[in-house]
Amino acid sequence: MTITIVLLALIILLSIVILLYITARRELRLLQQAHDELLHEHRSTTIKHGMSFEQLFPYMNNYPYDPRNFRFIGTPIDGISFEEDKIVFIEFKTGQSALSALQKRIKKTLQKRKVEWKEIRDA
């Protein structure tokens, strides 16, 4: 009789442990989903902030060129400033953001002076 009670107690205890495990896994999955959603919102907000900043940067006090000479492109670089004695390719960055692989390649191409003028006319 005592063995039966012990086995019954073990079965009940094991059932409780299994239920707690299933509940914890479900809650962990819900927390992971909530975390992923917050992370997505944060990234989206950061991107929106950067895009807004790009539009305003030429009009800030620390912008070194005449803002009237700036032409916004957006991608793959933010824009070009057509100065009196040079043309400047510009990429604005905020916070810890870094150049993309394509932007790094463009920068290297410009530094190697592999730039040309091409005039294309319709027939």
**Structural domain boundaries in the chain:** 1-114
Cα–Cα distance for residue pair 98/78, rounded to 1 Å: 13
Distance CA 56, CA 19 (A): 56
| Residue 85 CB neighbours (<10 A) | 4
Q: What's the token pair of residue 2?
A: 């005592």
pLDDT tens series, the chain, 123 aa:
788 888 888 899 999 999 999 999 999 999 999 999 988 888 887 777 766 777 788 888 889 999 999 999 988 999 999 999 999 999 988 778 899 999 999 999 999 999 999 999 997
Residue 43: other Cβ atoms inside 10 A: 10
